[in-house]
Chains A and B, each alone.
Chain A
Amino acid sequence: MDGNEPENEMAGGEAEKDAAPSFSVPAPSTPSLASLGGGQNPPNGEDRRQAVESGAAAKPRPISRRKLLEAIGAVGIGVGLGFRVLEDPSAASPARQRAAAPRSTKDPLPQWTMIFDLRYCDGCKACTAACQSAHYLPKDTEWIKVYTLTSADGGTYHLPKPCMMCEDPPCQAVCPVGATFRTDEGMVLIDQNVCIGCRTCMAACPYESRYLNTSPMPEVPRQPFPTSPEWPVPQVVDTVGKCIWCAARLPSGMLPECATSCQMGVIYIGDLTTDVAVNGQGNVITISEFLRDNDAVRLKEELGTNPRVYYIPGHGQDLSGWA
């Protein structure tokens, strides 16, 4: 009976505030309900008030039929359509939601990539600070780490290094419990509810991109989103964490924390499918042309990990195969 009512009330709505609604109500056992339902009483305001007042429980404030119908109608709409949100368990995970509803049913999934234009990096480490602050990391956990290195001509240059999001990630292959996984968009993420803290992934990563969380962990205020591999805040103690390219932001087109904080516009985030990349300063490039024109390289190419991070050297430094 209750199931029928909302549908009918949706159709009827407020226009029928005085007409006899068609929901089925048993023969009114009390004069009060009879005035709200059935078509058995005259829709007379005076009579209705009298009937209500003469009801079994004489309450001071009457409730009108209109109000009830409105409430039921709103509930019906809300419940009926709200299930579309509530029943989707991946509502909490932006990456999975994105995968479930791509821009167009014909388009392939985005394949994220990052480009570092080292011509402009001055080693200020704003990226490191912003990342640590956004994810509430301890001081010595630098998910994006800026190295200061000597180039062939004796000068120094700076190299920020996030997680490489390898296409053949050694960390994923060696994790004994499969806590590290790679999504179809190319993001390598960690489920810290599974991680046993064996640090084999730290042994495997040739880029030293992974960090174990040990106590004391920084105090983390209550987060607006539940903890997930795409938004791993707060980090779980005694498990391994790493840069995740702010995976929770990418599906809605927001840039990772490091990219937005870089004042020099060094850090580009892009999509290999659409061939478009932007940096935090509003520059937009076509990835394939940008990489080709600027002789981009990847780190430790010879290891066969196929990283998704490209570097534009620009100072003549040799980025291939050092250390």
Chain B
Amino acid sequence: MRRLRQFAADFGWPRIIIFFFLVALFFAAPLVGVRVDASLSDVFNRFGQNAFFVLALVPMIQSGCGLNFGLSLGIIAGLLGATLSVQLGLHGAVGFAGALVLSAPFAIIFGWLYGKLLNKVKGEEMTIAMYVGFAGVMFMCIMWLLLPYTAPDMIWGYAGHGLRTTISVENYWIHILNDFLEIRIGPFFRFPTGEILFAAFGAWLMWLFLRTKTGTAMTAVGSNPDYARASGISVDKMRTISVVISTLLGAAGIIVYQQSFGFIQLYNAPLAMPFTAIAAILIGGASVKKASMLNVVVGTFLFQGLLTMTPSVINSWLQTDMSEVVRIVVSNGIIIYALTRKTKVSK
């Protein structure tokens, strides 16, 4: 009994509550006419879609930079890579890889500059990150209109220039990961094996990285900066590296997201994405100062599960579309809950 209670305390009551709530929703689903296999399929799909974003938050949390509200910058780098890939007419696996490769230089530059900025404002990173992210997205809105893209699939037909708000990747690299080794059970259940494998691969790499010399140095900088400094580690350098990695993962994340979602979303779309990632990792048990792979996996699964199941069950039950309201309340409620906890370290 005591072991059980200890486990509960470690795991965190909120996570347990949400886990049982989610299970309850899965049980309730067939009672209100929602197919469990379709829902599970949805959840796995969204898990794969979002896993990289959540993973991207880990380096900066570990290095003490807080929650990366400026993930939008990484997303923008990814968008640049994706649009360039489409512009160059790259298809299939080449297109996907191309997007990743093309976004990398942008991500590194953005991350480096962003990291330098954050180093100058230690202590107030989160709010500044938010607004730098917003300003960046707005700046890119101007850029999307001005940059000399020419591929007819992407630009406004009427005006002749300027990128559209959403660009379909149907002819390029849609579902390139999802369909790889896809498992189908029945007409409703599709398990996007490729996507999940890719996400698992990313998580594994991160896990390895955190055990390298640089990785441990990064963690040291976050948990005990004075000790780190005394050991000769450059705090600023580690922080900048963490920001660059975070931005790179954000870029990769949006590309993975796009191949699953089917569209490249420009303009205002990146504004909301950091928040969903942050909610996910916080519900996974991470704190502002510490995050692990378990947090990422559990958090993404629980959060996306919640976001998928709650609206669909409630909608079917009440016969009305309340999905948006539910989404807002749930995701933000979780973030607030996490922000109001005393910083306790959880696995």
| Physical interaction between A and B | no
Interface residues of B (CB under 8 A from A): none
Q: A: which residues have CB within 8 A of B?
A: none
